[in-house]
Structure 1
């Protein structure tokens, strides 16, 4: 099992430090669209399949990236994958994504800790 602790990540361009762009981190999996939920402690479960992350072209001077990127979607311990999944965004970063609009978890989710 992997325990993931997220801090706010605002740019699909990555790179640590302050975000250079304003793209929301979004993924599709199982005909559902998920958005990033920051500042929540969670545990990564089993691999579920492939999630797709759309391109982000909001950084001036960046290469024109129009390709959809694929990443493994993982279950989140204690949550139904129809509510939330985890995605390995980079080799060092696993993100929590949920179907709730605005990057939050549905109110019925009580087993995750907000920081």
Structure 2
């Protein structure tokens, strides 16, 4: 008896799905039994200003210009359930970076006299005026 042409064999598809789910679940487990006991900090340095999102860079010695107003660092709890509430929302002051459009990058005051460079998350390659500030990096 011939198999019906409309009959579909699902066994290979089910096996593929099972293998995929197994590999995904294995990727979510810790490398050691105590891996969860040692949470890793992973909060990105994110700033929100003027309806834009900026990502932090290492540079702290940047030429700042005029104050642009308030910026916000959103709250972050990168290790929920560890008994620590994480970092709360922080208000800070945004400053222009001399010679750079604020839509590209700004500086935020972390401490009096200390400014951190943050670059808009839409920027894929630093423009020349910003590379001058970051020593080409």
| Band the TM-score falls in, shorter-chain normalisation | 0.5 to 0.7
What is the aligned length? Answer: 95
Structure 1 position 23 matched with structure 2 position 60: no
Q: Point out which structure has higher relative CO (alpha carbons under 8 A, 6+ apart).
A: 1
Kindly report the root-mean-square deviation, in angstroms, between the aligned alpha carbons of the 2 structures.
Answer: 2.9
- Sort the Cα spacing of 1:33 and 1:93 in 2 relative to 1 into closer, same or farther, 3 A: same
Q: CA deviation at 1:62?
A: 6.2
What is the CA–CA distance in structure 1 between the aligned matches of 2:114 and 2:50, rounded to whole Å?
A: 22
Please state which structure has a larger fraction of its residues in helix. 2
Q: 2:66 aligns with which of 40, 43, 46?
A: 46
For the pair shown, which has the larger CA radius of gyration, 1 or 2? 2
SS state at 2:132 partner: coil
Where does the alignment leave 5 or more consecutive residues of structure 2 unmatched? 1-39
Question: Which one of 93, 97, 120 corresponds to residue 76 of structure 1?
Answer: 97
Give the match's secondary structure for 2:41. coil
Q: TM-score, normalised by structure 1?
A: 0.65
Deviation of 1:63 after TM superposition, in Å, equals 3.5
Give ranges in structure 1 of 5+ residues lacking alignment: 1-19
Measure the CA separation in 2 of the matches of 1:54 and 1:62. Answer: 20
- 1:31, CA displacement in angstroms? 0.7
- Divergent runs of 4+, >4 A: 59-62
Q: Is 2:60–2:116's contact at 8 Å kept on the other side of the alignment?
A: no
